[in-house]
């Protein structure tokens, strides 16, 4: 009870709401795009990371045609104020190698990229009574490098098969012209916007492509389409954009200078939809002399770009409060953004990973104890603690101070009262991209210090103190989760019936401190989050000894509960997250083996394990609102990991006669269909010897500095290993060095 009581003492120290009809669009910037000498900006596209912007233009200067796709470099992603014209050598000349009908120099229209950036679809806008409507495909040899463009084919959307009679049954299909184009990610659907000069056939038409991205295989979907003339958006629709993974459709109106938003009831399906409303770009820019043409959005949908072909031929940049949405009360879940979902999942995985690794450290220690039943070589260091920090000085009477009781020159039975150990671990993990979440790469480095004591010949109790540095890269845009974890774990083992049937018990608490960095359309969104943990494990095992081989079947049950505190992100695209509960229940069944291959001069044991793990509780509710639109509260259920998992490990124990020991384990955790984690454990042991000095010190008042030093006299040479660490700082505030000195 005294031991538990002392352990418990250690634990103690250780914008306004908007209505559904309110616009939530804010003007950020306006830029003139005239570096290439172009007249009208008819199409706007970006590469995925927002560092390149593409503008399709057409005009005529005398008899000289200007039909190009111009490229601009953005030093800040999706920030048009940082644009730099890439130069004439980096543009696509649309008049070179064009198709059967060629391009009208004054009517190059909207454009769209394929999902891999290797194909561009661009329009030639016909005029009243002409047959110049064309849809062109150009291929690029290098993704998103328009200077490598080459004409492939074109089609006439005014043919009987492609024009149809869906809007008013007009027999004269040549009295309207194509204005906008969009394509779905897999290239099986394409959408065209038409303007009817009579004001009867303005609309979005939907086409299927029997061969992906092959416009020669287009067929009109007669049961779909949006008749724009039924609303108040005007009679001159221009560009189209589909975002939110196929859920939101936007159309600009050239004459009324508006953007109209639709919500599609089925993804990339215009047969059923809801009109959310229109926003006036004139009102947002406070300029009535405007006419829209091009429309574009950033990758994550928090920025919208609209071009104007009157006056200075500007492109306007707007901020949105939530992805691909122009109206308050109509925000959608972050589930539509893979990096966002990846960051949310990474926090749950961090909680589970910390519990697992802390538990494994204690279990590894108990394995070592059972493999060295003679109770020799169970200590690794004689530690002294020097505290200048006031709080730490107050802990002198706690059991940790008993580290001072053992002299490095002693080798008496008192050495067996307490045994000391340390463990270093490196864990590398990867969770592949899913339909909802980006790929995640995790790296955890940890140091564990522990001490334990035998209560009888086979029963043992101990405490372990673990510090972990955990880093997760989410997606490819620079989003990261950087965390420090602190855990205290109590562990024990005792026989059930005899010395071969044992029960291991583990109980621990922990604290998590995390820094979140989410990159949304080039904007750095940051937040801090903390969490508290409690966890436990019960493990039953038996040993069957046959000569030098020991087989160890076992069953194990794990439980944990982590409370992650709420937080609010910075930035326009930020979210406010509520407290989150992460619960864990695991069942494990394993068979382990140990083979004793010791020689006369050293002890050598190799061991391995195969284990099945059923993760019975893998979901957590993620509750949040957007910072600038709190009218909708979200409650997303996040599922992480897999129900079925397989764990395999191999390792060796080596004990040398010079009082040194080493314990190494490589572990692979394979989650069925989701990913894997690789862990490497290295534990070093040492029985105190008079020629070796080992010290662990903690010093500081405002900054808490730790120093771990080993000094050994080897034939008159001093071999010194030193590790310094600032315990109050995140990141890499640490240094290590090795010295070999000789005094003559």
Q: What is the pLDDT of residues 141-166, one digit of tens each?
A: 999 999 999 989 889 888 878 877 66
Q: What is the pLDDT of residues 536-562, one digit of tens each?
A: 999 999 999 888 899 999 999 999 999
Q: Which of 493, 519, 522 is nearest to 506 (CA)?
A: 493
Structure tokens given for 20: 């559904």
Q: Return the pLDDT at 409.
A: 31
Mean pLDDT to the nearest integer, 382-399: 36
- Dihedral (Cα; 330, 331, 332, 334), 10-degree rounding: 180
**Mean pLDDT (the chain, rounded):** 80
Phi and psi (nearest 5°) for 357? -70, -35
User: Which band of pLDDT confidence, cut at 50, 70 and 90, is reported for residue 434?
Assistant: confident
Phi and psi (nearest 5°) for 352? -70, -40
Mean pLDDT to the nearest integer, 249-266: 92
Q: Return the pLDDT at 607.
A: 93
Phi and psi (nearest 5°) for 16? -60, 165
Q: Return the pLDDT at 364.
A: 86
More confident of the two residues 679 and 250: 250
Q: Where are the beta strands (DSSP E) in 188-339?
A: 189-196, 203-209, 218-220, 226-227, 237-243, 248-253, 258-266, 269-280, 292-297, 303-308, 314-320
Mean pLDDT to the nearest integer, 668-680: 80
Query: Which of 47-56, 259-268, 308-317, 406-415 is predicted with the least confidence, judged by mean pLDDT?
Result: 406-415
Q: Is the pLDDT of residue 689 over 70?
A: no
Q: Is the pLDDT of residue 11 over 50?
A: no
Q: Return the pLDDT at 738.
A: 59
Q: Return the pLDDT at 711.
A: 60
Query: Which of 201-215, 233-247, 564-578, 696-710 is predicted with the least confidence, judged by mean pLDDT?
Result: 696-710
Q: Return the pLDDT at 577.
A: 97
Q: Is the pLDDT of residue 34 over 90?
A: no
User: Which band of pLDDT confidence, cut at 50, 70 and 90, is reported for residue 115?
Assistant: very high
End-to-end CA distance of the chain: 54
User: Which band of pLDDT confidence, cut at 50, 70 and 90, is reported for residue 405?
Assistant: very low
Distance between CA atoms of residues 459 and 453, nearest Å:
9
pTM: 0.76
Query: Which of 79-88, 309-318, 708-717 is predicted with the least confidence, judged by mean pLDDT?
Result: 708-717
Q: Return the pLDDT at 35.
A: 53
Q: Is the pLDDT of residue 609 over 90?
A: yes
Which of the given ranges, 7-11, 407-411, 464-468, has the highest pLDDT on average? 464-468
Q: Return the pLDDT at 84.
A: 94
Q: Return the pLDDT at 541.
A: 92
Which of the given ranges, 405-414, 524-533, 700-709, has the highest pLDDT on average? 524-533
> How much of the chain, in percent, has pLDDT values that exceed 70?
74
Q: Return the pLDDT at 42.
A: 86
Q: Where are the beta strands (DSSP E) in 367-459?
A: 419-431, 440-454
More confident of the two residues 652 and 408: 652
Structure tokens given for 200: 């009867």
């Amino acid at each position: 009870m005294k031991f538990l009581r002392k352990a418990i003492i250690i634990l103690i120290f250780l914008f306004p709401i908007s209505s559904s009809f309110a616009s939530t669009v804010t003007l950020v910037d306006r830029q003139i795009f005239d570096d290439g000498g172009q007249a009208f900006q008819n199409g706007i596209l970006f590469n995925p990371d927002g560092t390149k912007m593409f503008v399709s233009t057409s005009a005529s200067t005398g008899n000289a045609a200007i039909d190009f796709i111009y490229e601009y470099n953005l030093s800040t992603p999706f920030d048009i104020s940082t644009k730099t014209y890439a130069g004439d050598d980096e543009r696509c000349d649309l008049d070179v190698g064009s198709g059967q009908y060629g391009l009208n120099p004054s009517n190059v229209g909207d454009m769209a990229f394929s999902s891999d950036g290797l194909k561009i679809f661009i329009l030639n806008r016909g005029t009243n009574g002409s047959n110049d409507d064309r849809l062109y495909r150009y291929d690029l040899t290098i993704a998103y490098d328009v200077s490598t463009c080459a004409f492939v084919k074109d089609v006439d959307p005014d043919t009987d098969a492609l024009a149809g009679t869906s809007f008013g049954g007009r027999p004269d299909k040549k009295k309207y012209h194509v204005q906008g184009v969009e394509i779905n990610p897999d290239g099986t659907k394409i959408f065209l916007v038409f303007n009817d000069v009579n004001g009867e056939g303005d609309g979005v038409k939907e086409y299927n492509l029997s061969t992906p991205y092959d416009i020669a295989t287009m067929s009109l979907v007669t049961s779909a389409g949006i008749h724009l003339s039924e609303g108040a958006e005007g009679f001159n629709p221009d560009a189209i954009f589909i975002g939110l993974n196929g859920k939101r459709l936007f159309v600009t109106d050239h004459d009324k200078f508006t953007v109209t938003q639709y919500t599609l009831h089925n993804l990339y399906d215009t047969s059923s939809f809801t009109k959310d409303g229109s926003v006036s770009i004139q009102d947002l820019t406070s300029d009535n002399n405007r006419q829209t043409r091009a429309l574009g959005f950033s990758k994550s949908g928090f920025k919208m770009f609209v071009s104007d072909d009157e006056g200075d031929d500007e492109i306007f940049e707007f901020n949105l409060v939530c992805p691909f949405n122009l109206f308050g009360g109509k925000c959608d879940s972050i589930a539509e953004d893979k990096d966002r979902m990846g960051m949310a999942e990474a926090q749950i995985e961090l909680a589970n990973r910390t519990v697992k690794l802390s538990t494994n450290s204690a279990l590894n220690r108990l394995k070592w104890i059972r493999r060295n039943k003679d109770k020799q070589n169970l200590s690794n260091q004689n530690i002294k603690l020097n505290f200048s920090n006031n709080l730490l000085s107050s802990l002198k009477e706690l059991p940790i101070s008993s580290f001072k009781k053992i002299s490095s020159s002693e080798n008496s039975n008192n050495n067996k009262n307490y045994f000391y150990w340390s463990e270093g671990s490196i864990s590398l993990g990867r969770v592949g991209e899913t339909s909802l979440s980006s790929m995640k790469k995790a790296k955890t480095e940890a140091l564990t210090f522990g001490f334990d004591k035998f209560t009888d010949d086979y029963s043992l109790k101990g405490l372990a103190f673990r510090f972990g540095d955990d880093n997760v890269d989410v997606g490819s845009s620079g989003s990261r989760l950087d965390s420090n974890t602190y855990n205290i774990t109590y562990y024990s083992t005792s026989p059930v019936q005899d010395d071969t049937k044992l029960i291991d018990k583990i109980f621990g608490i922990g604290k998590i401190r995390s820094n979140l960095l989410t990159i949304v359309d080039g904007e750095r969104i940051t937040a801090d989050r903390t969490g508290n943990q409690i966890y436990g494990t019960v493990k039953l095992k038996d040993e069957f000894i046959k000569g030098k081989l020991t087989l160890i079947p076992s069953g194990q049950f794990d439980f944990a509960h982590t409370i992650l505190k709420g937080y609010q992100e910075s930035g326009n695209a930020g979210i406010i997250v509520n407290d989150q509960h992460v619960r864990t229940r695991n069942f494990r069944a394993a068979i382990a083996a140990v083979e004793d291959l010791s020689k006369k001069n050293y002890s050598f044991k190799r061991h391995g394990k195969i284990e099945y793990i059923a993760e019975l509780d893998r979901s957590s509710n993620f509750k949040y609102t957007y910072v600038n639109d709190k009218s909708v509260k979200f409650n997303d259920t996040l599922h992480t990991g897999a129900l079925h998992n397989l764990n395999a490990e191999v390792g060796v124990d080596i004990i040398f006669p010079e009082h040194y020991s080493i314990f190494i384990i490589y572990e692979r955790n394979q989650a069925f269909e989701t990913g894997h984690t690789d862990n490497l454990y290295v534990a070093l042991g040492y029985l105190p010897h008079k020629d070796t000095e080992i010290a662990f010190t903690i010093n500081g008042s405002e900054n808490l500095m730790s120093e771990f030093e080993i000094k050994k006299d080897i034939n008159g040479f001093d071999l010194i290993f030193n590790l310094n660490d600032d315990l109050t700082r995140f990141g890499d505030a640490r240094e290590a060095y090795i010295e070999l000195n000789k005094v003559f």
